[in-house]
Amino acid sequence: MELKDRFLKYVSFDTQSSEESESFPSTDKQLVLLNYLADEMRALGLEDVTVDKYGYAMGTIPASEGCETAPVIGFIAHVDTSPDMSGKDVKPHVIEEYDGGDIMLNGSLTMRVEDFPELKDFVGHTIIHTDGTTLLGADDKAGCAEIMSAAEYLMSHPEIKHGKIRLGFTPDEEIGRGVDYFDVAAFGADFAYTMDGSSEGELEYENFNAASAVVEVQGRNVHPGYAKDKMINAIQVACELNSLVPAVERPEYTSGYEGFYHCVGFSGTVENAKISYIIRDHCSEKFEQKKV
């Protein structure tokens, strides 16, 4: 199967994960694609194809003759899509030979080059986009399709010599649980790569520390006419607290290894207020300080 057709097949599966769910994987529908990928690996002739009780699908491209002692290389991608937007009934559009212009997603939504200047890097390429009503699901079905197409190519081109290669497809990455039950020993790779990036040729080889925090403020509501020395306005307290967080340590002012505090939610009344943050830092010491 051609890479593009394989990708279009994968995005037809609704595999949205759910933060609210306490089961693993968080949604059963992810298993449909995970089992499909396992069947596809078997059909391509891969060995040791398994789907474990958590849904992780794995398979092996055996080493070429004479390469049995080479390090085992793994390739990993996740099947789930973000809970932020629906990934059901995706209607992908394919543009061959993209001309560099604005892209009409539907009658009322246009992806403008002015807003997404990186589109200019893809003039002449094939572009696949959504109709704007759902996610496309390229994160990370593009990775799944890349890995499976590479596997198909290697299986049918024995002249390309390689060591043992392991493939792994995982659920629940988008909700931060993708590695929770990943069986590292069963996977058995000496080195592995997750195919889940942004641009061609990019290689990320390290990661930040991540935490989230929710601060709840209990105020004291009093009739404003009698409020002097009595009222505690939870909104004002929350604003004051937020203003104490270093302003320059926000994502819009940081880059590279600089960590940040990012306010992702703020709601309140006089009685109660709630602020949500995410915290990121590459340095574990600074990360701990930020959490404190």
- Known active-site residue 173: yes
In the complex, the smallest distance separating the C-beta of residue 95 from Zn ion, rounded to whole angstroms, is 23
Catalytic residue among 14, 139, 152, 173: 173
In the complex, the smallest distance separating the C-beta of residue 267 from Zn ion, rounded to whole angstroms, is 28
- Known active-site residue 204: no
Among 139, 172, 249, 281, binds Zn ion (CB under 5 A): 139
Residue type, 263: C
Please give the torsion angle defined by the CA atoms of residues 178, 168, 91 and 22, in that order, rounded to the nearest 10 degrees.
Answer: -30
Name the segment binding Zn ion (CB under 5 A); options: 31-39, 189-197, 251-259, 267-275: 189-197
Three-class secondary structure of residue 1 per DSSP = coil
In the complex, the smallest distance separating the C-beta of residue 210 from Zn ion, rounded to whole angstroms, is 15
Q: How crowded is the C-beta side of 163, counted as CA atoms within 13 Å?
A: 13
Rounded to whole angstroms, the Cα distance separating 117 from 114 reads 6
Rounded to whole angstroms, the Cα distance separating 83 from 120 reads 29
Q: 60 and 188 in contact (C-beta within 8 Å)?
A: no
Name the segment binding Zn ion (CB under 5 A); options: 64-72, 114-122, 138-146, 254-262: 138-146
Among 63, 131, 181, 196, binds Zn ion (CB under 5 A): 196
Q: 63 and 219 in contact (C-beta within 8 Å)?
A: no
Catalytic residue among 14, 40, 80, 140: 80
Query: Binding of Zn ion at residue 249 (CB under 5 A)?
Result: no
Query: Binding of Zn ion at residue 40 (CB under 5 A)?
Result: no
Query: Binding of Zn ion at residue 193 (CB under 5 A)?
Result: no
> Which residues are 167's β-sheet partners?
59, 75
